[in-house]
Amino acid sequence: MRSSAHRVILTTVLLLTFGAPAAYAEADGPDFWVVTGVKRGDDLRLRAKPSVEARVVGSIPYNARGLKNLGCRGGPSFAEWNKMTPAERKDASKARWCQIEYERRHGWVAGHLLKEGRAPISRGNMPAYCRGEVAGKYGTRPRYVKTGKMVKAKNGDLSISGTVDKGNEGIKKFKCRFDKHRNFIDVMAMTSDGE
């Protein structure tokens, strides 16, 4: 009886010691992806399973951002990938498939067509994000940046126009642009001097 109790305790200790790290393992890759390596006008195929033979369940635009990473399989881990040379990455990338969520659709895409991205910006944070980007572009502080209302284009893209006080250089007009998925695109100068 005593030896079976010892075995249970020993087994529990071993499981806790060697089995627990898997529960705390770092997630494989970034939280969000950006599509890369797909020609302009083409789409990335979203598949039901991680295979080129799997049924296509949707398509993702060549320039899509904010694809939520649900995990990858095949090929090296994200940490190993970061340590590889470009040649090693090219060879290893063909075996990697990543499960993603994009516009409420789930499926698998070829991992070599993804690169690390960031989460879409919440609608409420877009003006503050815009002020920060404008301040960086114009070399000033966000408090000197004034933003107007958000405007939605017919294609779903969003923009915020505003002005930045450049002191002796005067007031400059700009427009912050976001795609329909709330990913920041750029700051456009709207003044004749291009600044």
Among candidates 173, 171, 116, which has minimal Cα distance to 148? 173
Using CA atoms, how far apart are residues 157 and 179, in angstroms rounded to an integer?
A: 4
* Both structure tokens of 108: 């698998």
Residue 13 lies in a domain: no
Query: Do 111 and 185 reside in the same domain of the chain?
Result: no
Residue after which a domain boundary falls, among 93, 116, 139: 116
* Both structure tokens of 42: 């083409």
The SS3 assignment for 85 reads: coil
* Both structure tokens of 46: 């979203």
* C-beta atoms surrounding 165 within 10 Å: 15
Q: Are residues 82 and 95 in contact, defined by beta-carbon separation less than 8 angstroms?
A: no
**Among 37-51, 81-95, 173-187, which is the least confidently predicted range?**
81-95
> Per residue in 83-107, pLDDT tens?
888 888 777 777 889 999 998 899 9
The CA distances from residue 12 to 1, 16, 18, 19, 20, in Å, are 17, 6, 10, 10, 11
114, β-bridge pairs:
35
- What's the CATH number where 79 sits? 2.30.30.40
pLDDT for 152 equals 95
Query: Do 179 and 111 reside in the same domain of the chain?
Result: no
Q: Give the model's confidence band at 77: pLDDT under 50 very low, under 70 low, under 90 confident, else very high.
A: confident
Query: Do 70 and 43 reside in the same domain of the chain?
Result: yes
Q: Are residues 114 and 67 in contact, defined by beta-carbon separation less than 8 angstroms?
A: yes
